[in-house]
Amino acid sequence: MNNGTPLEDYVISARNLRAFYGNQEALKGVGCQVAGRRVTSLIGPSGCGKSTFLRCLNRMNDRIPGFRIDGDLRIMGADPYAKGADLMKLRRQVGMVFQKPNPFPMTIFENVAIGPKLHYGLKGSELEGVVEEALKEAALWGEVRDVLTKSGLSLSGGQQQRLCIARMLAVRPEVLLMDEPCSALDPISTAKIEELIVALKERHTLLVVTHNLQQAERISDYTAFFMFGELVEYGQSTQLFGSPVKSETQDYVSGRFG
Amino acid sequence: MATVIDKAKREGLEARDAQRARSSRRYLGLLTGAAVVTFLLIVGIIGTILIKGLPSINWAFLSDLPREGMTAGGIWPMIRGSLLLMFGTMLVVLPVGVLGGIYMAEYAGESRFVGLIRSSLVSLAATPSIVYGLFGLAVFVLAWKLGTSLMAGWLTLALFSLPVVIITTESAIRAVPESLVEGGLALGLSKGQTIRKIVLPNAASGIATGIVLSTGRAAGEAPPILLTAGIYYSTGQLEMNLETLRKPVANLPYHLAEGYRQGGVIPESIIWGTCVVLMGLVLLINLGAILVRARSRARSLQS
């Protein structure tokens, strides 16, 4: 559980991280250190490896046959790929929200309750408290407090995505991974999620994959630009968007390709 | 893109459009024809059975014991026997088939051996039921010394239904969207928890439908029980105890097959009546499956 103590400066650090799908090299030696309690955007053209990188962090890539990884990765000081590493604990610490909202076909309450119930054995009023808190944190409580027993699928797309965020928050993760969390949403819902992302960095470390450069600029403290499986440039968003060092970055952020 | 399409080309295009419309109409005609033939066949079969069988159906026919060497009276022992066979088959098929389906979908992986098992399952699902009957006779009746008995019938019918149940369970599980599975795993649920809490509830209606339909089909099969569990001359004794498991049991498909074979001894009205009852039973089972499906679909979308 997250007790609010200050964290070390770098929550995630990767050194010469390489990832393969079969023979295809998706990450060609990526090195970076991600600051705690900040928002970091991952940008780059499709197939550049940004999602692969994100999915290395909670080992979601494990499900893909032929996937393997090489190099050094630390998340809060521990190697998630170490032999005997606790995968479920990793995923409790490193939550993930997907491109398409994927609420479970159960009630709104159950959607949020399933994590704390199964992980921490909470029930009764304690569980209700955690659910309420998570829904509040995800800025959804006001909209659903009276309809908690309705199906999660009855919500609008944007609400569903916030429900998924609440579901993740209820497990009390430190790191939040978001894989294009707004790309299936309308502009108003997108604005709400963006606001939420900025609010969440007070207590969490966020990594957000996005194709929307303005969004990356708006929400993130740091931005990482990926291309062809390499981390081309990584730095403060103001700097990366304002005066990028590399010419590829310059071309990409000015919309010349990608 | 504002290229000029010259007149000749445009006329050619119009001719092709007309031809495409004609061939669409031709295919529609073929499809309609096929649908009509199918429909007429079904109506013909069901109609014949209903016309010939319905007059024999009354409460006495359904609830009485046969009399006078099966040539009169009702068919209650056969209905009861069929229900007993089905119930027991389901009891065996449910755990084995569902666990097998879960294994195939989530744990077996994709090796060559698993591919072999998968294609064997498909072949087994298409194997004529008499083969299961002979297998049941050889293994359950003779080798296991169960004799011609209700229990041997359960096991044989269960074997007969298992491939379909495993295949439908597997495909129901695979039909659960990957995004939900990922959602569960990303929350830190174990694979088992994800299967139990997220995959199975979403696959439940498909699994239940598979079980009900395949046991329903098993209930209508004569060959497997012909050799393992069936008896024609029912003594009419109906008490239920553990001994019932070791005894052969009268049932509808067997009654039909045997009644027909006696050639003229058994009144036609009884045979057609039995036909209607068997058909009604299978229809009821299928209706049950449809209800299960509809209810769980409504539940998952309820507001």
**Chain B residues touching residue A58 (CB < 8 angstroms):** 186
| B194 inside 8 A of chain A by CB | no
Question: Cβ contact (<8 Å) for A150 and B303?
Answer: yes
pLDDT of amino acid B73: 84
Q: Quick one: closest CA in B to A172, which residue?
A: B187
Angstroms from A151 CA to nearest CA on chain B: 6
Q: What is the DSSP letter of A193?
A: H
Q: What are phi and psi of A15, to 5 degrees?
A: -130, 125
Q: Angle at Cα B103 formed by Cα B99 and Cα B105, nearest 5°?
A: 115
What is d(CA B211, CA B281) in angstroms, rounded to the nearest whole number? 16
pLDDT of amino acid B198: 94
Q: Name the nearest CA neighbour of A91 among A203, A177, A215.
A: A177
Domain boundaries, chain A: 10-101+175-253
What is d(CA B136, CA B98) in angstroms, rounded to the nearest whole number? 22
Chain B from 81 to 140: CB within 8 A of any A CB? 110
What CA dihedral angle connects B14, B20, B22 and B24, to 10 degrees?
Answer: -150
pLDDT band at B28 (very low <50, low <70, confident <90, very high): very high
Instruction: Read off the amino acid at residue A36.
Output: G
Residue B303 lies in a domain: no
Tens digit of each residue's pLDDT, chain A (258 residues): 344 444 446 899 999 999 999 999 999 999 999 989 999 999 999 989 999 999 999 999 998 989 999 999 999 989 999 999 999 999 999 999 999 999 999 999 999 999 999 999 999 999 999 999 999 999 999 999 999 999 999 999 999 999 999 999 999 999 999 999 999 899 999 999 999 999 999 999 999 999 999 999 999 999 999 999 999 999 999 999 999 999 999 999 988 765
Under 8 Å CB-to-CB from B158, ≥6 apart: which residues? B88, B89, B92, B93, B96
Q: What are phi and psi of B79, to 5 degrees?
A: -60, -50
| B268 inside 8 A of chain A by CB | no
Under 8 Å CB-to-CB from B55, ≥6 apart: which residues? B269
**Chain A residues touching residue B302 (CB < 8 angstroms):** 150-151, 154
Residue B161 lies in a domain: yes
Residue B39 lies in a domain: no
Could you tell me if A36 and A10 are in contact, meaning their C-beta atoms sit under 8 angstroms apart? yes
pLDDT in tens, A66-124: 999 999 999 998 999 999 999 999 999 999 999 999 999 999 999 999 999 999 999 99
Q: Give the domain extent around B170.
A: 77-232+239-298
Residue B170 lies in a domain: yes
More confident residue, A256 or B284: B284
Q: Name the nearest CA neighbour of B75 among B55, B54, B57.
A: B57
Give the ipTM of the model, two decimals please.
0.91
pLDDT of amino acid B247: 86
Q: What is the mean pLDDT of chain B?
A: 88
What is d(CA B94, CA B96) in angstroms, rounded to the nearest whole number? 6
Could you tell me if A5 and A174 are in contact, meaning their C-beta atoms sit under 8 angstroms apart? no
Could you tell me if B209 and B286 are in contact, meaning their C-beta atoms sit under 8 angstroms apart? no
**Backbone region of residue A136 per phi and psi (left: phi > 0; alpha: psi in -120 to 50; beta: other values):** alpha
What is d(CA A168, CA B191) in angstroms, rounded to the nearest whole number? 17
pLDDT of amino acid A5: 42
Instruction: Read off the amino acid at residue A169.
Output: L
Q: What is the DSSP letter of A146?
A: T
Which residue of B187, B190, B197, B295 is the best one to mutate when testing the A interface, meaning the one whose CB has the most A CBs within 10 A? Answer: B187
Question: What CATH number did the domain enclosing B153 receive?
Answer: 1.10.3720.10
Name the CATH superfamily for A10-101+175-253. Answer: P-loop containing nucleotide triphosphate hydrolases (3.40.50.300)
Angstroms from A48 CA to nearest CA on chain B: 22
Please tell me the total number of residues recorded for chain A in this structure: 258
Q: Does the pLDDT at position B240 exceed 90?
A: no
**Chain A residues touching residue B110 (CB < 8 angstroms):** 65
Which range, of A145-154, B63-72, B160-169, B193-202, averages the lowest pLDDT? B63-72
Q: How many CB pairs under 8 A join A and B?
A: 69
Among B183, B190, B302, beta carbon nearest to A104: B183
Q: What are phi and psi of B125, to 5 degrees?
A: -65, -25
Instruction: Read off the amino acid at residue A191.
Output: A
More confident residue, A69 or B242: A69
Residue B45 lies in a domain: no
| B186 inside 8 A of chain A by CB | yes
Residue B209 lies in a domain: yes
Among A151, A154, A168, beta carbon nearest to B187: A168
Residue B174 lies in a domain: yes
Residue B283 lies in a domain: yes
Domain total for chain B? Answer: 1
What is d(CA B159, CA B215) in angstroms, rounded to the nearest whole number? 11
What is d(CA B197, CA A110) in angstroms, rounded to the nearest whole number? 11
| A58 inside 8 A of chain B by CB | yes
Residues A224, A51, A27, A58: is their CA dihedral positive or negative? Answer: positive
pLDDT band at B236 (very low <50, low <70, confident <90, very high): low
Report in angstroms the alpha-carbon separations of B37 from B34, B41, B46, B231, B268. 5, 6, 14, 38, 28
**Chain A residues touching residue B301 (CB < 8 angstroms):** 105, 151, 153
Q: Name the nearest CA neighbour of A210 among A178, A244, A254.
A: A178
